[in-house]
Structures are given as C-alpha cells and as structure tokens.
Chains A and B, each alone.
Chain A
Amino acid sequence: GAVVSQHPSWVICKSGTSVKIECRSLDFQATTMFWYRQFPKQSLMLMATSNEGSKATYEQGVEKDKFLINHASLTLSTLTVTSAHPEDSSFYICSARDRVTGNTIYFGEGSWLTVV
C-alpha cells in the first residue's frame, strides 16, 4: 500500500528554537497534505491544509507565522514550529491524499515534539 514517511519520529528541542518536521509520500504523488496535532488522550486536530505550489490554508486559531508549512513538491511537505514553547509539545502527524486514487488518505508515522 501507499506509504507516507514522517521524520523525525521524535525530537526534543529547547524553548525558543525552531524544529522542522518532514512528510513524504514515498510511492505516490500528493497534491494535498494535511497537518494535525494531537495532545495526549485527545483527538487529531487539523492545523492546516497544504497544497503543492501554493500557500497553506490554516484552521482557525492556528498561527501561520508560528507553524510554517511548505509544500514545494508533490511528495514533500514540511512543518516548521518556530520559536517553540513547552505548550507546543505534542504529537504532530501528517496525512496525504493520493492524487490518482482520489479519496484515499494515508497517514505518516507521526512526530513527538517535546520542548524543554
């Protein structure tokens, strides 16, 4: 089946620094990728929709200047958490829609971010 790879799987960073998370579709082209955040024992909350070659669409309450999203190619989207703070510590997970099969959405493995 289709594979979405997310890297790193876990990262610890100091408060005030920036962290980049990559999401790659390995064997399909993804015109659209989605970024979610999941706090412990909570659901996945959509942060933004990333379209290849255009600006991301952010959900209400998500700071676009803090969570920078770049979708430069059909197989790669990146999420950069800028000036990270402890409250940004969470499980971040991406998903990608296969442009060929249409509706099918595949998830990356997720990235655990801990800001100390």
Chain B
Amino acid sequence: AQSVTQLDSQVPVFEEAPVELRCNYSSSVSVYLFWYVQYPNQGLQLLLKYLSGSTLVKGINGFEAEFNKSQTSFHLRKPSVHISDTAEYFCAVTPTGANNLFFGTGTRLTVIP
C-alpha cells in the first residue's frame, strides 16, 4: 500500500523568502512522484514530476523538487516566493505501472507581503 505524508498543513512565508514544502511517502514498490498546485476555486495543475533519472526535478513557476530514495522524500522548494504562489500544494505518488494517484492532505502556502 502507498501513503503520502505532508508534514505541514500551513506554511506562511514572507514575499521573496525561500520556501520548502515537505513530502514523505511510503511504498513497498517503486513509485512516480508528483507535485500539484491548486489556486483558489480552481482544479489541480501539475507543477512537476519525478519519473526516473536526475533526482533534482525542475517544474513550472520556478519550483523544483528533490527525490531522496533513502529518506523516501520529495520536498518542494522555491528560492524566492511571490504573492501569486499563494495556493494549496499537493504531493502525490503512483506505483510504477499503476494508474491510481495517492495524494497527501495538502499544504497551504500563504505568501505575506
């Protein structure tokens, strides 16, 4: 079985400061990893994904994430946040070869002017 833990339900950060949103997963098989963003009253949009290869993955809007297999983590980072980054962020995993996504409970990022 797979599970995803997002350790912080809310993260406030000042504008232009760096941010890290944490994600840990549990799985008995190899997985693909995803980060999605949800802006208020909208659906989810893919930020980035890790399938294989380089463990540092770059996504849209200046976000990046690093896959750490030994720590079963896939933390999301941005060196300098903008007001427009205020949103909810979801980490998700799927076993390789499967079709179901398993989501974490989300982290609400609030950027303070």
A and B part of one assembly: no
Instruction: Name A's B-contacting residues (CB within 8 A).
Output: none
